[in-house]
């Protein structure tokens, strides 16, 4: 018995030792802050564009006066993470990180000191970024304004706070194979795929995750909740009432709005306006090309036809509906959301064409009705007022049930009033903010 026990304990110690050795990564020595002259202006500008596509500053900026200095809280099922300072301050940021240390963080999710990073940092996508692009990103970040700021410490629960365990997570879920162009696909397709799967990390929000927080690779782009917004499916089972076309995908990603779909709100507004805005027209076209492959690209004439049919049907059914929800719609929404079926308009999103009404989850529609869309939160120059104060939970539930009934053919959402109440509490954006 004793011998068996000794063997078990011995094997246990060996396994643990092996794990520690496996998980161990060396620290990469500090270097003095590199001189800006080491990099060309072209590299720095390219890095700025790439940082936009990667949305680095959206996650790494908590206050506009402290760009890239971190401190943004990222709630996860395992506790709260705060983004680190990636401005080039030597003490609190990455000012003494060598290029090699930066590249290892982006490729392998390991920090300069050799600690494993959590996948809330989308290194699982950034690992696909090519060498010259990582060098350009480094050039941009390291020559940017240094900001001295120490973000709050993470509050992850035991055992999730043990960084070493991330080595095991990586064995199970991390594919670190480098990006390879796909033979037989066009240059635009390959460029789009490279940007979407790599820096753009589109799937990080649009794919569901398993209980370990890893993207489900067999359900890529099948739609998922992230930060209490629903990032819709972009695959062939997409949830948009009208099939996406190349042109509409381009408009949506370039301007943040498409006449046949709607506007980017919530976290997607940041992706477009604080990120893709720096990308070239060609890169946006490339992304639209790749999206066409994931979700299928319909023809413009068919999409227009479908849009007309949907708008006309919604007009007919709205006129015939005298319910409480229908009356709220007439009083509160129609003035801004009425479209001529021949010419839907981007700045008055037609709710018969809008995926917020057809999505599996009512959350995006509820949040927009509660809080509106601020000038910063959607298309520049226009806004929508919030109705969180004017309408109570039952009013909003009736309004949404009405929209779901008259503006498309999806089954009713269950327990709407309850969900409105929940989101009202959890997403505490005051509707007054919409005017800012």
Q: Which residues in 381-420 contact ligand HEC (CB under 6 A)?
A: 382-385, 387
Q: Are 124 and 215 in contact (CB under 8 A)?
A: yes
Provide, rounded to whole angstroms, the least separation between the CB of residue 137 and ligand HEC. Answer: 5
Size, binding site for ligand HEC by CB under 6 A: 75
Residue ranges in 320-379 that form contacts with ligand HEC under rule CB under 6 A: 332-333, 335-337, 347, 349, 351, 354-356, 364-365, 368-369, 373, 378-379
CA distance 235 to 354: 17
**133 near ligand HEC, rule: CB under 6 A:** no
HEC readout, 80-147: EEECCCCCCCCCCCCCCCCHHHHHHHHHHCECCCCCECCCCCCHHHHCCCCHHHHHHHHHHHHCCCCC
Provide, rounded to whole angstroms, the least separation between the CB of residue 182 and ligand HEC. Answer: 18
**62 near ligand HEC, rule: CB under 6 A:** no
Candidate residues 23, 49, 147, 240; the one interacting with ligand HEC per rule CB under 6 A: 240
Provide, rounded to whole angstroms, the least separation between the CB of residue 65 and ligand HEC. Answer: 19
CA distance 138 to 51: 10
Candidate residues 39, 78, 229, 413; the one interacting with ligand HEC per rule CB under 6 A: 229
**222 near ligand HEC, rule: CB under 6 A:** no
CA distance 387 to 366: 10
234 versus 297: smaller Cβ distance to ligand HEC: 234
Residues paired with residue 79 on neighbouring β-strands, in sequence order: 76
Could you write out the DSSP letters of every residue in 264-281?
A: --THHHHHHHTTGGGS-H
Candidate residues 23, 87, 105, 142; the one interacting with ligand HEC per rule CB under 6 A: 105
Candidate residues 46, 191, 201, 404; the one interacting with ligand HEC per rule CB under 6 A: 201
Residue ranges in 288-307 that form contacts with ligand HEC under rule CB under 6 A: 291
**44 near ligand HEC, rule: CB under 6 A:** no
Candidate residues 78, 194, 221, 252; the one interacting with ligand HEC per rule CB under 6 A: 252
Buried b (16+ CB within 10 A) or exposed e, 92-114: bbbbbbbbebbbbbbbbbbbbee
108 versus 308: smaller Cβ distance to ligand HEC: 108
Give how far Cα 67 sits from Cα of 33, 85, 112, 148, 192, Å. 18, 9, 21, 11, 28
271 versus 304: smaller Cβ distance to ligand HEC: 271
**262 near ligand HEC, rule: CB under 6 A:** yes
**196 near ligand HEC, rule: CB under 6 A:** yes
59 versus 310: smaller Cβ distance to ligand HEC: 59
**202 near ligand HEC, rule: CB under 6 A:** yes
**247 near ligand HEC, rule: CB under 6 A:** no
| Two structure tokens written together for 130 | 């090519």
Burial class (CB in 10 A: 0-12, 13-18, 19+), 64: exposed
């Amino acid at each position: 018995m004793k011998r068996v026990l000794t063997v078990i304990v011995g094997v246990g110690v060996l396994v643990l030792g092996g794990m520690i050795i496996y998980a161990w990564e060396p620290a990469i020595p500090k270097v003095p802050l590199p001189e800006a002259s080491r990099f060309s202006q072209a590299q720095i500008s390219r890095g700025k564009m790439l940082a936009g596509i990667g949305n680095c500053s959206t996650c790494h900026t908590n206050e506009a006066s402290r760009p890239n200095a971190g401190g943004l809280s990222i709630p996860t099922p395992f506790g709260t993470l705060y983004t680190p300072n990636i401005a080039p301050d030597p003490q609190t940021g990455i000012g003494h990180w060598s290029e090699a240390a930066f590249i290892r963080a982006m490729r392998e999710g390991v920090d300069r000191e050799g600690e494993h990073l959590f996948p809330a940092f989308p290194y699982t996508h950034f690992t696909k970024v090519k060498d010259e692009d990582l060098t350009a990103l480094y050039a941009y970040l390291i020559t940017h304004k240094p900001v001295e700021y120490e973000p709050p410490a993470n509050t992850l629960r035991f055992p999730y706070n043990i960084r070493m365990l991330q080595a095991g997570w990586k064995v199970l879920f991390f594919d670190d194979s480098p990006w390879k162009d796909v033979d037989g696909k066009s240059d635009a397709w390959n460029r789009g795929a490279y940007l979407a799967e790599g820096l753009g990390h589109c799937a990080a929000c649009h794919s569901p995750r398993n209980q370990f927080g890893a993207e489900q690779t067999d359900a890529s782009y099948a739609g998922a909740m992230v930060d209490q917004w629903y990032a819709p499916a972009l695959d062939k089972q997409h949830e948009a009432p009208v099939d996406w076309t190349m042109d509409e995908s381009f408009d949506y990603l370039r301007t943040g709005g498409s006449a046949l779909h709607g506007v980017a709100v919530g976290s997607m507004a940041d992706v477009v306006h604080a990120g893709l805005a720096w990308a070239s027209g060609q890169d946006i076209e490339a992304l639209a090309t790749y999206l066409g492959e994931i979700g299928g690209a319909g023809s413009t004439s068919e999409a227009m036809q479908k849009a007309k049919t949907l708008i006309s049907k919604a007009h007919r059914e709205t006129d015939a509906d005298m319910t409480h929800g229908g009356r709220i719609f007439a009083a509160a929404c129609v003035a801004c959301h009425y479209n001529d079926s021949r010419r839907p308009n981007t700045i008055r999103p037609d709710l018969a064409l809008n995926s917020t009404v057809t999505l599996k989850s009512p959350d995006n529609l509820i949040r927009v009705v509660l809080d509106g869309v601020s000038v910063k939160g959607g298309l520049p120059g226009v806004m929508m007022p919030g109705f969180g104060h004017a309408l109570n939970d039952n009013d909003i539930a009736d309004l949404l049930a009405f929209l779901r009934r008259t503006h498309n053919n999806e089954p009713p959402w269950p327990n709407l009033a309850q969900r409105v109440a929940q989101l009202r509490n959890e997403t505490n954006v005051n509707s007054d903010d919409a005017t800012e």
